[in-house]
Amino acid sequence: MKKFNLVGFILVAGGVLVLGFQAIAALMHTDNFWNDLTLSTAMPLDLDRYIQMIPFESLQIGLDYLALDLPLYQLLVALGVICFILGSFSRR
């Protein structure tokens, strides 16, 4: 198995796992950590401060969306699909 495909599989599996935890949390009707999980809530860093240091506003807007608004499961699945695509073009 190619390394890109293995990483892609792990990322997609992680995304599905996070989505499963969010579904279970939604079924329990509780407001907890899993309901609105994004990259910024999963990491203890203040990502907004680092993003604002970037001098290009269009790049700031894109990274702001990726770090603060995009659900974590969508980010993981998208990165997994990108790894699968890269794995299909690599030789080893």
Please provide the DSSP assignment of 63-74 as one string.
HHIIIIISBHHH
| CB-CB contact of 75 with 39 (8 Å) | yes
Mean pLDDT of 14-41: 85
Report the pLDDT value the prediction gives residue 27, as an integer from 0 to 100: 87
Which residues are CB-neighbours of 69 under 8 A, at least 6 positions away? 38
- Each residue's pLDDT tens digit, 41-64: 888 778 778 888 888 888 989 888
pTM beyond cutoff 0.85: no
19 pLDDT higher than 80: yes
Structure tokens that stand for 71 in this block? 């659900």
pLDDT band at 23 (very low <50, low <70, confident <90, very high): confident
73 pLDDT higher than 80: yes
Report the pLDDT value the prediction gives residue 13, as an integer from 0 to 100: 97
Q: Which run of H or E residues covers position 49? A: helix 47-52
